[in-house]
Structure 1
Amino acid sequence: MSLVLDASAQDLLFREARTANTFTDEPVTDEQIQAIYDLVKYAPTAFNQQPLRIVLVRSAEGRERLVKHMAEGNQPKTSAAPLVAILAADNEFHEELPTQFPHFPQAKDLFFSERSVREQAATLNGSLQAGYFILGIRAAGLAAGPMTGFDAAGIDKEFFPEGDHSVLAVVNIGKPGTDSWFPTRSPRLAYDEVVTTV
């Protein structure tokens, strides 16, 4: 193997990590989420954009508001997870770009004038950040249950009524519970099925 990361870390992040469907009732703290974010915020995006916005759903009222927009099969596990995070793209992320940013003039030209360009960039880079966030959850010794089975327009209206955010995913977070995984892992495509050289 030509990987620098040691085998146990590879297993923690990828080989042995699974999408969790059930969780224990052990709480997930704000300190854990902050540690996760403070790690993954350094991961690469185009122009170092940071359009990801995270809403932690902790209250019973917030959970009720969210669950009604989840697909039927996702409602029970979203109701029961210790913590649920709504991951969204801020379509006005350009307002947070630092003016000392080396490519600020080009970024300003790209993102300040065309909303469609900003939305495309926010979706792409916010999705990258969402993937990093899930790996960060695994790095913290927790399990993630990312979902896209929901009414996106409903969640956007419910949690982002100003119209400037677009939900990307909803992630259940916690320690894996009983029968947390499906009995067999879904197959993955082999290297030769994915990689070509030109």
Structure 2
Amino acid sequence: MSSGETILKQLFAEARSQNGWNAEQVSDDELAAAYEVAKWGPTSMNTQPMRVVFLRSTAAKERLKPALSPTNVEKVMSAPVVAIIAYDLEFYKELPRTFPHRPNAQEMFVGNTALVDSTAFRNGSLQAAYFMLALRAVGLDVGPMSGFDPARVNADFFAESSVRVNFICGIGHGDAAKVFDRLPRLSFEDVASIL
């Protein structure tokens, strides 16, 4: 098997969303290494709106616990690290630094709530997907979840800021015994048209 095939299996074909975790810890260096890979993924106008809060301690996870759906409590509490993946609605304030060849780029976003919201959410979601793939690339497993109360997470973690939660993601080394059977995927013909 070629190295390319091995990488594709690691990132996609054999990778699974985790429902449980073993006790092996995740280092700050591993998280930083994954970000250093993911940061190169493209976003429109290099907006880079993703923000992440990593919860490692039991006390930090306890803060999140009241916002969780009951089915996600054990997945969160047992994960070595839980990432609150969010996006910054004031991403455009960084554009003079991140998109310097267009010095007035931020002006198109000021006061344009619809454009800000769609740009932040779309590009933050792209970055989050890059980040999950990068976590897999550095040898970690992920368990993304959307079963939580966003208003509560925003109030508890992002109060009086321009940051909003997108989703929550467990990070660690998965417990293979807790992985669900592989679910069907739609085929190319189901999702694509070529004009």
Do both share a fold (TM > 0.5)?
yes
AA partner of residue 16 (structure 1): E
Cα distance in 2 for residues equivalent to 1:102 and 1:21: 44
Q: CA deviation at 1:113?
A: 2.9
Match of 2:120 in 1: 122
Q: Which aligned segments of 4 or more residues in structure 1 are displaced greater than 4 angstroms?
A: none
Distance 2:4 2:157 in 1: 40
| Partner of residue 57 from structure 2, selected from 53, 59, 84 | 59
SS at match of 1:6: helix
Which ranges of structure 1 fall in alignment gaps of 5 or more residues? none
| Matched AA of 2:192 | V
Letter matched to residue 184 of structure 2: P
Q: TM-score, with normalisation over the residues of structure 1?
A: 0.93
Which of 65, 80, 83 is equivalent to 1:82?
80
Alpha-carbon distance in 2 for matches of 1:68, 1:52? 24
Cα deviation digits, residues 97-149 of structure 1 (max 9, x gap) = 235622342x3232123233212210110000011111011101111000011
Aligned residues: 193
What is the alpha-carbon distance in structure 1 between the residues aligned to residue 96 and residue 134 of structure 2? Answer: 25
Q: The residue matched to 1:20 in structure 2 has which SS? A: coil
Residue deviations 1:135-168 (CA, integer Å, cap 9, x gap): 0111011110000110000000000001411100
Matches within 5 A, 1:142-153: 142-153=140-151
For 2:76 and 2:47, how far apart are their aligned partners in 1? Answer: 29
| 1:38 aligns with one of 36, 39, 42 | 36
Greater helix content: 2
Counterpart AA for 1:102: H
Find out whether 1:29 has 2:10 as its counterpart: no
Q: For residue 42 of structure 1, what is the amino acid of its counterpart?
A: W
Identity of aligned residues (%): 38
Of 161, 181, 192 in structure 1, the residue corresponding to residue 189 of structure 2 is: 192
Q: Given that residues 58 and 77 in structure 2 are in contact (C-alpha distance below 8 angstroms), is that contact kept between their aligned partners in structure 1?
A: no
| Kept in 1: contact 2:21–2:174 (CA 8 A) | yes
- What's the counterpart of residue 6 of structure 2? 8
Q: TM-score, normalised by structure 2?
A: 0.94
8 Å CA contact 1:157–1:163 kept in 2: the answer is: no
